[in-house]
Amino acid sequence: MARNKFDVDEELESPFNPQHFKRMLTYIAPYRNRIIITVILMLVASGANLIGPFLIKQAIDTEIPDGDVSGLTLLAGIYLAALIVTGICMKFRIRIMSEIGQSIIKAIRKDLFENLQKLSFSFYDSRPHGKILVRVVNYVNSLSDLLSNGIINLITDLFSIAVIVGFMLAIDVKLTLYAMAGFPVLAGIIFIIKNAQRRAWQKLSNKQSNLNAYIHESINGIKITQAFVREEENKQIFEEVSDSYRGSWMKAVRIQFLLWPSIENISVLTVSLVYIVGISSIANGGVTVGSLVAFIGYIWMFWAPLANIGNFYNAIINAMAYLERIFETIDEKPEVVSDPNAAELKPIKGKVTFDDVTFAYEEGSPILKNVSIDVKPGETVALVGATGSGKTTIVSLLSRFYNVTDGQIKIDGVDISTVTIPSLRKQMGIMLQDPFIFSGTIMDNIRYGRLDATDEEVIEAAKTVQAHDFISSLKDGYETEVNERGTRLSSGQRQLISFARALLADPKILVLDEATSSIDTETELAMQKGMEHLLEGRTSFIIAHRLSTIQNADKILFIDNGKIIEEGTHTELLARKGPYYKLYRSQSHSLAAG
Amino acid sequence: MGSIRWIWGYIRNYKRRFFLGLFMALVVAGLNMVNPWLSGRIIDEVIYGKQENLLLPFLGVMIGITLIRTVVRYSYQLVFETVSQNSIFKIRENLYDRLQHLDFSFYDKTKTGDIMARMTGDMEAVRHFTAWTIYMIFENATILLLAVGFMFYIHPPLALCMLAVAPAIGFFAYRLANTVRPTFSAIREQFSRLNSVVQENISGNRVVKAFAREDYEMEKFSVQNEAFKQRSLDSARVWERFLPVLDSLAGTLTVVMIFAGGIMVINGSLTFGELVTFNSLIWALNNPMRMAGWLINDVQRFIASAEKIEDLLRVEPCIKNLPNSKKIDELKGVVEFNSVGFSYGDEKVLKNISFRAKPGETVGIIGPTGAGKSTLINLLSRFYDTDTGEVRVDGINVKQWEIQKLRSNMATVMQDIFLFSDTIEGNIAYGVPDATVEEVIDAAKKAEAHEFILEMPEQYDTIVGERGVGLSGGQRQRIALARALLKDPSILILDDTTSSVDMETELKIQKTLKSILMEKTCFIIAHRISSVKEADLILVMEDGKIIEQGTHSELLAKKGYYHHVYQNQFGNFENQHSQEGVS
């Protein structure tokens, strides 16, 4: 599993793919009708706009020379009416398109977020979180204008071009062909620019992602930074990251800005060509003066929508860099998925069986080797062993955070890979080694374990884990606002909250991964007393280093290097005088030595 | 205006380039008028006047002017981009610098997602303004002024008639600006909230999965996602009201021109040619006025974001160096707490704490969760300031030390281990970036981390994740310990550092520490008696107070809280021992 850090660009795994564009259209498709309405509105508006020049011509040619004031008033009136129509069309266009644009954004963001919920730990473990964040929020935002106004402009511009070319053809076919001579040149230039631009924007989006990842990590690690007086060093790194973002931005715009001048220069060359050809054919009598004048007028008009399309194209290319990232994330396959035929796991009793389980995060270096465990409902199992021996991995497999490489895990005789994941996890209460606190009140944080729990139940759970006293001593009690970094809560307090959360879930299987490592012995003992009756009827897995925490367990598993090397009750294991005995001696010795 | 002045403070550094850009924009605005004029000449002189020899020169000028114009335009776009990128770079740097120096109390109450929103979305709005909006405003204003001036030159009465529309446009533009601004602020705030929800979901993904709360998270997210959509639509609704009005009003200029101009021609007060000239200039009035609405939007969007960024830049850390702070490079490590009191808000966390420790001594701190142990050592590194009493290091109040000097002489292993997404080597060398590989390995060995690091796929080059995921709790603690040891500090602070380390390893670590700590002052916060019993001074804390202090044997003799804890941890063993004896 290759991990990514802030200054490493993420390789995009799929090549450029027109499918992305098609796929984007599928987000737009539901709004097809409304888009058609808007296009019609736009056509009406441009129709109303076209009346303008005609009215002026009419006034200058007829009404004014004739001194016809009432006729002039009429023309002015018509013009005003046309303006009002244009205004109304514009109003509806803004209304409809912003609605559509925002709805599409919302839908893409939702798909992205939804898939993120399905992705396994390894996805999150293998890249800085800032890089994920920027995809969901910033990348999606940068699509919004493109998807709303961009599309409409494209359609109206294409329509204008068609009309203009139609007029040109009607005037003179040969001149039209000359006028189109610039087209292949433009296409060639666009092709060259496109490739360079796509690469430049991909690079840019990488640099942006790196920058954000670094900022994100700097914020989260601020305490360490300040404790180690790393501020200046970090500033330098930040400047480098920020500078390489600036550099790739400038490179990208240098390419992007080339498009417009190319179009203008090609257009002026085409116009010149048409002048030369046109004027010589006037001499031959092929073209009339009037039609040449009109024709030139149309060529100028022709390039404006073309330039707009060019800009749209620019925007699409830029957006592609983002779209690729977004779709890549939406398509990311979670490693752990419910089997398509998976059944709901029925309410369980809590019998747990590990049948010859082997597991490796990375092929070839197994973390667990042939682990077999049998736990009866209601039993308490303690896992002991050195750090990194695989204790956390065992309980992670039980919740199916990872799939076993080999062997089977069964709950009540049912292989957990054959049941739906939510139905499995909802029956387990897990307290992770790293207690995470969400921003919100303490009440909300505990209730996270069971959303429909009443306040009383939350308080009951807090009391059981001995968290009630400290919570009530806070000024706002259970309504105290806390956040991710755990404002004002000590690690032990966070563990207590996270413990209460697990307990509130009222699970049949309770997993406590170093639930009390930062909790003082007094509290722990009080907690144990309160929990005794709570643990009744629940199967529980306890990982701890303080042997005092675990010696009452029904079964102690001594894990070493991914294997269970000893198994039994505290007394049995002591009698065996094996590794557990040694561990126990060293602990008691270290205490007794004082 | 405040925001404009603020951004000018950054742009000013590139004054020359900025004005060069504006000048080039002016040139382009002027050159814009050449081609339409040349087209007229070609028609008049070449086609009607039959002077065909003039065609090629005319076309040559036309092509030449276009080339120059596009090259100049390209250049000034890049000039503005450069100015904008440089300014943004500077702003970002200032923000980052500010973030690096803000104290814990700021971070305690600010969400990561909010800060991220400042650094990303808000920054983008500022970028757009400096790179695009500024010159667009300038370009349009120039064209407008040129055209108005020209019109007044030709025929003041008609020009005045046309300007009659201006107050109405001004009025609506002003209304738009005022109405749209709060909607942009609302969008920015909602953006922050959305950012925070997503951010927490990502950081807390393990808990979400453990409790199978994906649906709940989806709901939480959907609320914010929907709200973000709604806030954006609120804003669009304002545009919807004003932009069409502004657009139509710009269009009425033409109506005024034909109607008033026509009547003037009929009256004979205006010539026909003058009216035609007016007609050819009308785009120069129309376009800028049409653009006005959009530009106002951009400006308001910029102001909404700039204000947020300014707010963040203005936050002052409470913990700052005093003007004449002590800049002693190396401190000895004498630590004194004199009746120290401290509270978070109204909540008293520490009450009347006094003790003293000399170099070479180890102070153990033990006590229930939330007793104030971590707070006590946070005051020592001056992450917070005391409310009453004083903390002295080498006889000098920590408030008088230069913070950086003070902290460079301390190394803390925090309770909450944070590793950076970097290699293990990079993480250990975090405090001493120029440490050699040997030094890193040596530190890792002392922290009993060397062996498991060697077992990792890429050993010291293995990249670990942000919260150190991929490593077990005990492994993370040992890397953090190595990080602190590498710094070779005068004062070493271990906050619950070995809680997830197995006892055997802990014993080894303690042995190593003993030899390292000869000259150092060391603070050890722990729950296991075994971790603190060797300390020269043990502080037993409860409820913000030191309730007992002394050495292990003194405290045992007191038969107080410490003795009780000892009994609980050790008593069990004693019982077992006797059982063992029996069996």
What stretch of H or E contains A88?
Answer: helix A69-118
Give the pLDDT confidence score for residue B87 in this predicted structure: 92
Name chain A contacts of B346, Cβ cutoff 8 Å.
475
Determine, yes or no, domain membership for A13.
no
Q: How far apart are CA A477 and CA B60, in angstroms?
A: 82
Residue of A521, A552, A556, A571 to mutate, testing the B interface (most B Cβ within 10 Å of its Cβ): A521
Number of domains in chain A: 3
Residue bearing tokens 């266009």: A93
Of B262, B475, B576, which is closest to A388 when you measure between CB atoms? B475
Name chain A contacts of B248, Cβ cutoff 8 Å.
83-84, 86-87
- B263 and A487 in contact by Cβ < 8 A? no
Name chain A contacts of B195, Cβ cutoff 8 Å.
133, 137
Distances (CA, A) of A556 to A367, A513, B103: 20, 14, 45
What is the DSSP annotation of B397-453? EGGGB-HHHHHHTEEEE-SS----SSBHHHHHGGG-TT--HHHHHHHHHHTT-HHHH
Q: How far apart are CA B255 and CA A246, in angstroms?
A: 47
Could you tell me what percentage of chain A is helix, strand and coil, using 3-state DSSP and rounding each to the nearest 5? 65, 10, 25
pLDDT band at B582 (very low <50, low <70, confident <90, very high): very low
Name chain A contacts of B494, Cβ cutoff 8 Å.
none
Q: Of A446, A475, A506, which marks where a domain is finished?
A: A506
Of B55, B208, B344, which is closest to A275 when you measure between CB atoms? B55
Q: Are residues A172 and A276 in the same domain?
A: yes
Name chain B contacts of A134, Cβ cutoff 8 Å.
120
Q: What is the CATH number of the domain that holds A381?
A: 3.40.50.300
- B576 and A224 in contact by Cβ < 8 A? no
Name chain B contacts of A462, Cβ cutoff 8 Å.
none
Residue A292 to chain B, least CA–CA distance (Å): 9
Q: How far apart are CA A512 and CA A421, in angstroms?
A: 20
* Residue B172 scores a pLDDT above 80: yes
Q: Are residues A216 and A252 in the same domain?
A: yes
Q: Are residues A113 and A138 in the same domain?
A: yes
The predicted-structure confidence for A448-490, as pLDDT tens digits, reads as follows 878 888 888 888 888 888 788 888 887 788 888 787 665 677 7
Give the pLDDT confidence score for residue A50 in this predicted structure: 66
Residue of A222, A311, A332 to mutate, testing the B interface (most B Cβ within 10 Å of its Cβ): A222
Q: Which residue of B has its CA nearest to A52?
A: B254
Average pLDDT over residues B400-415: 81
- A219 and B116 in contact by Cβ < 8 A? yes
Output the six-digit token pair for A458: 């939350």
| First vs last C-alpha separation in chain A | 46
Q: How far apart are CA B539 and CA B366, in angstroms?
A: 6
Give the pLDDT confidence score for residue A317 in this predicted structure: 74
Distances (CA, A) of A543 to A193, A370, A387, A447: 59, 20, 11, 24
Average pLDDT over residues B441-452: 84
Of B205, B381, B527, which is closest to A124 when you measure between CB atoms? B205
- B112 and A484 in contact by Cβ < 8 A? yes
Note the ipTM here. Answer: 0.82
Q: Are residues A260 and A404 in the same domain?
A: no
Q: Are residues A321 and A343 in the same domain?
A: no
Q: Are residues A460 and A418 in the same domain?
A: no
Residue A330 to chain B, least CA–CA distance (Å): 15
Determine, yes or no, domain membership for A1.
no
Name chain A contacts of B204, Cβ cutoff 8 Å.
436, 438, 484
3-state SS, residue B338: strand
* Residue B578 scores a pLDDT above 50: no
* Residue B469 scores a pLDDT above 60: no
Q: Of A331, A354, A387, which marks where a domain is finished?
A: A331
Residue A125 to chain B, least CA–CA distance (Å): 6
Q: Are residues A521 and A496 in the same domain?
A: no
Q: How big is the A-B interface in CB pairs under 8 Å?
A: 510
- B404 and A474 in contact by Cβ < 8 A? no
Q: In A285-432, where does DSSP find H-type helix?
A: 289-331, 391-398, 421-425
CB-based contact B526:B532 (threshold 8 Å): yes
Average pLDDT over residues B47-68: 84
What value does the mean pLDDT of chain A take? 80
Give the pLDDT confidence score for residue B16 in this predicted structure: 92
- Residue scoring higher pLDDT (A435 or B171): B171
Q: How far apart are CA A280 and CA B55, in angstroms?
A: 11
Which residues neighbour A455 within 8 Å (Cβ) at sequence distance 6 or greater?
A443, A478
Residue B5 to chain A, least CA–CA distance (Å): 24
Q: Of A287, A311, A331, which marks where a domain is finished?
A: A331
Name chain B contacts of A75, Cβ cutoff 8 Å.
258-259
Residue of B216, B217, B234, B420 to mutate, testing the A interface (most A Cβ within 10 Å of its Cβ): B420
Name chain A contacts of B263, Cβ cutoff 8 Å.
69, 72
Of A289, A293, A425, which is closest to B210 when you measure between CB atoms? A425
Q: Which residue of B has its CA nearest to A228?
A: B431
- A76 and B211 in contact by Cβ < 8 A? no
Name chain A contacts of B228, Cβ cutoff 8 Å.
106
What value does the mean pLDDT of chain B take? 82
Give the pLDDT confidence score for residue B271 in this predicted structure: 80
- B203 and A257 in contact by Cβ < 8 A? no
* Residue A328 scores a pLDDT above 70: yes
- Nearest partner of B483 among B425, B436, B434, judged by Cα: B425
Residue A236 to chain B, least CA–CA distance (Å): 10
- Residue scoring higher pLDDT (B21 or A46): B21
What is the DSSP annotation of A412-461? TTEEGGGB-HHHHHTTEEEE-SS----SEEHHHHHHTTSTT--HHHHHHH
- A486 and B104 in contact by Cβ < 8 A? no
Which residues in B485-570 belong to E strands, given as ranges? 491-495, 521-525, 537-542, 545-550
Q: How far apart are CA A551 and CA A569, in angstroms?
A: 8
- B262 and A118 in contact by Cβ < 8 A? no
Output the six-digit token pair for A177: 């062909």
- A113 and B198 in contact by Cβ < 8 A? yes
DSSP secondary structure letter of residue A483: -
- A72 and B97 in contact by Cβ < 8 A? no
* Range in A36-50, A60-74, B161-175, B464-478 the model is least confident about: B464-478
Name chain A contacts of B444, Cβ cutoff 8 Å.
none
* Residue B341 scores a pLDDT above 80: yes
Determine, yes or no, domain membership for A369.
yes
The predicted-structure confidence for A164-196, as pLDDT tens digits, reads as follows 788 788 778 888 888 888 888 888 888 888 778
Q: What is the extent of the structural domain holding A187?
A: 105-331
Average pLDDT over residues B33-49: 73
The predicted-structure confidence for A125-171, as pLDDT tens digits, reads as follows 777 777 787 777 778 877 776 776 677 677 777 877 887 788 788 77
The predicted-structure confidence for B281-315, as pLDDT tens digits, reads as follows 777 787 788 788 788 888 988 998 898 888 888 88
Q: How far apart are CA B244 and CA B294, in angstroms?
A: 11
Q: Are residues A193 and A251 in the same domain?
A: yes
Q: Sort strands A563-568 and A509-513 into parallel, antiparallel or unpaired.
A: unpaired
- Nearest partner of A421 among A343, A502, A332, judged by Cα: A343
Residue of A57, A66, A224 to mutate, testing the B interface (most B Cβ within 10 Å of its Cβ): A224
- A583 and B210 in contact by Cβ < 8 A? no
Segment of A486-500, B181-195, B459-473, B507-521 carrying the highest mean pLDDT: B181-195
Which residues neighbour B20 within 8 Å (Cβ) at sequence distance 6 or greater?
B76, B79
Residue of A80, A226, A522 to mutate, testing the B interface (most B Cβ within 10 Å of its Cβ): A226
Distances (CA, A) of B531 to A262, A473, B26, B366, B546: 74, 29, 75, 10, 19
Output the six-digit token pair for B486: 């590498």
Helix axes B214-256, B272-314, angle to 10 degrees: 150
Q: Are residues A415 and A281 in the same domain?
A: no
Of A3, A436, A488, which is closest to B108 when you measure between CB atoms? A488
* Residue B548 scores a pLDDT above 80: yes
Average pLDDT over residues A375-399: 83
Give the pLDDT confidence score for residue A484 in this predicted structure: 67
Q: B69 in the Ramachandran plot: left (φ > 0), alpha (ψ -120 to 50) or beta?
A: alpha
- A238 and B96 in contact by Cβ < 8 A? yes
pLDDT band at B466 (very low <50, low <70, confident <90, very high): low
Q: Are residues A401 and A538 in the same domain?
A: yes
Residue B262 to chain A, least CA–CA distance (Å): 6
Query: Cβ-count burial of A457 within 10 angstroms (0-12 exposed, 13-18 middle, 19+ buried)?
Result: middle
Distances (CA, A) of B142 to A110, B17, B32: 45, 19, 12
Output the six-digit token pair for B165: 């529309």
Name chain B contacts of A102, Cβ cutoff 8 Å.
229, 232-233, 236
Q: What is the CATH number of the domain that holds A300?
A: 1.20.1560.10
- A137 and B198 in contact by Cβ < 8 A? yes
Give the strands of the sheet with A406-411, arranged side by side.
A368-375, A352-359, A406-411, A414-415
Determine, yes or no, domain membership for A100.
no
Determine, yes or no, domain membership for A161.
yes
- B111 and A439 in contact by Cβ < 8 A? yes
Output the six-digit token pair for A59: 């006034």
What stretch of H or E contains A565?
Answer: strand A563-568
Torsion of CA A152, A157, A158, A163, to 10 degrees: 130
Name chain B contacts of A250, Cβ cutoff 8 Å.
78, 81-82, 85
- B210 and A268 in contact by Cβ < 8 A? no
The percent of residues in chain A predicted with pLDDT above 70, rounded, is 91
* Residue B367 scores a pLDDT above 60: yes
HEC readout, A456-472? HHHHHHHHHCCCHHHHH
Handedness of CA B83, B87, B92, B94 (dihedral sign): positive
Q: Are residues A263 and A150 in the same domain?
A: yes
Q: Are residues A358 and A228 in the same domain?
A: no
Distances (CA, A) of A386 to A253, A580, B404, B506: 55, 11, 37, 10
